[in-house]
Amino acid sequence: MSYFKPIDIKTYFNHRIVYSGLPEVKGGEEFGLDNICILKPDLKLKKNEKADGVDFLFLFGENDNIICNGQKIEINETATKLHFIGFAYWGDFLEFIKIVYGDSSEERVKLSFIDWGHRYTADFKRRDMFGENISTIVKTITSGAVNHIAYLHHMCCEIDKSKKIKEIILPCNMLTHIMAITLENDEKQYKKEENEQMNELKKENEKQTKKIKEEKKSVDYYSLINKRWQSEEERQKERESWARKDGKS
């Protein structure tokens, strides 16, 4: 049984395609793609969505997608597959992502981007070039400069499941967009890693607790010494006081 973990990639977003209403164009500024966008009421995607049985996380309201330009996406997880929701602008593109593993080894994996202007069709030529792990999951309509039917696509990559992924390096193609990334892993492997992480956290907590106790003991020891010195000083003062009294008498 598979376990799906959506990745929060909001910090990598550098472009906005979804708006709550049509933006006003001021002083030659552009929005979306050549003043074409998707309105949120037309998209009908929730923050947490399931597509092809895979859980995805979408974030709207500000920048909502990545224009691929060699970004390094930090992962630090083990996965058997990577799932992407995205699209291309001005054509279909066969690209490659670089997977960097925890042991510093690397793997180059094919990632296809299908134009948002058409549905993915698994004809022979297209399947041979782009692979079979692609599906069209969303059909919507654009607004702005041009109104047309637009599609979002689900792309899946199989990777080396025996290693922990340190990071994913995206391709450099400004016409390719990624809206969501999800890791797929075997549930047993996920639980194993979760237990390992919990054990590491437990060890770290025990280490910190021990350190605090040792520091407390040290403080208590020096406090005791100080009290001892204080009591000796007080006794000395008392002796001096009695000596002065004896001298007067």
In the chain, where the domains are located? 2-186
Token pair of 26, please? 């001021």
Asked whether 164 and 76 are in contact (CB, 8 A), the reply is: yes
CA-based nearest residue to 86, from 41, 56, 106, 128: 56
Q: The whole model's pTM is what?
A: 0.77
Name the pLDDT band for 228 (thresholds 50, 70, 90). low
Look up residue 196 and give its two tokens. 């390992």
Two structure tokens written together for 192? 């194993």
Q: What is the pLDDT of residues 156-215, one digit of tens each?
A: 999 987 799 999 999 999 999 999 999 999 877 666 766 777 788 888 888 888 877 777
Q: How many CB atoms lie within 10 A of CB 136?
A: 17
The closest alpha carbon to 190, from 45, 36, 47, 4, belongs to 4
Type of residue numbered 8 = D
What residues have CB less than 8 Å from 142, skipping those under 6 apart? 36, 37, 38, 148, 149, 150
CA distance linking residue 107 with residue 99, whole number of Å = 5
Tens-place pLDDT, residues 20-51? 999 988 888 999 999 999 999 999 999 999 99
Decide if 167 contacts 105 (C-beta within 8 A): no
Model pLDDT, residue 97 = 97
Residue with tokens 């100080």: 226
Q: For residue 128, give both structure tokens.
A: 């041979």
* Burial of residue 221 (number of CB atoms within 10 Å: 0-12, 13-18, 19+): exposed
Q: State pLDDT tens for residues 107-150.
A: 999 999 999 999 998 664 566 677 769 999 999 999 999 999 99
